Amino acid sequence: MDRSILKKRRKQLGLTQQHIADIIGVQKPTYQRYESGVIKRIDINMIEKLSNALKTTPEYLMGWERNETEPSAALPVETEMINVPILGNVAAGQNILADSNVSGYEPVPKSELKKDAEYFYLTVKGDSMYPIIMENDMVLVRKQSELDSGSYAVVTVDGEEGLVKKIIYGKNFIELHSENHYYPVRKYTGNSVKSVCIIGKVVEVKRKF
């Protein structure tokens, strides 16, 4: 099987690797190994599942059909969407997903969200994260209180309105970094570390023109 056909067809349909993995019942890394060719042999049952997921035929995936018989990319694909709330602001100690704090909703494919996790969008204010994250960008945030050093996150300090920053951990300190070099690093040590509250991890940036 020419594995480039898998990627080509998936791109034609506008599907993610996670979406295909969900349809055929495997983990995303497994599908990635199918597509990259790391897994050398794919049994006939899985080829059948892949052809169904990609709205084509096993013969096409195997490279036995010529290009002129390539299936149309216009075939409809049903994608289940989840309406993720857009928040006006974020502050520690509040029910951030309360109706009074929700300014709207943005649909996101269910396959792109972790099961049993809570998500929200936040509109970025200011240019402290320029050029990675721009003012008025919407960041998709997964609620969690712990994350790896170097992650982008929404945090509050002393209960103030939420900030989007890069989080750096060290021994007995935490730093909030901006991408814009005009903004200094905010470093907290000792007991002041407790004033920093991590609301969630930034997992996507959406920019509208």
pLDDT tens digits, one per residue of 93-152: 445 555 557 888 888 888 889 989 999 999 888 889 988 888 888 899 999 999 999 999
**Residue where one domain finishes, among candidates 69, 89, 107:** 69
Catalytic residue among 128, 166, 178, 201: 128
pLDDT at residue 153, as a whole number: 93
pLDDT at residue 89, as a whole number: 67
- Over range 188-193, report the average pLDDT: 94
**Residue where one domain finishes, among candidates 47, 69, 91:** 69
Residues 86 and 135 in one domain: yes
**Position 46 confidence tier, pLDDT thresholds 50, 70, 90:** confident
Q: Is 165 annotated as catalytic?
A: yes
Catalytic residue among 49, 51, 165, 201: 165
| DSSP assignment letter at 1 | -
**Position 183 confidence tier, pLDDT thresholds 50, 70, 90:** very high
pLDDT at residue 95, as a whole number: 52
Please tell me the total count of domains within the chain: 2
Angle among Cα 39, 40, 45 to the nearest 5 degrees reads: 80
Residues 94 and 58 in one domain: no
Residues 55 and 91 in one domain: no
Residues 65 and 30 in one domain: yes
pLDDT at residue 152, as a whole number: 93
96-125 per-residue burial string, b: 16 or more CB within 10 A, e: under 16? beeeebeeeebebeebbbeeeeebbbbbbe
pLDDT at residue 176, as a whole number: 94
User: In angstroms, how far apart are the furthest CA atoms of the chain?
Assistant: 68
Structural domain includes residue 185: yes
Range of the domain at 33: 3-69
More confident residue, 70 or 116: 116
Structural domain includes residue 75: no
Q: Is 178 annotated as catalytic?
A: no
pLDDT at residue 120, as a whole number: 93
pLDDT at residue 182, as a whole number: 92
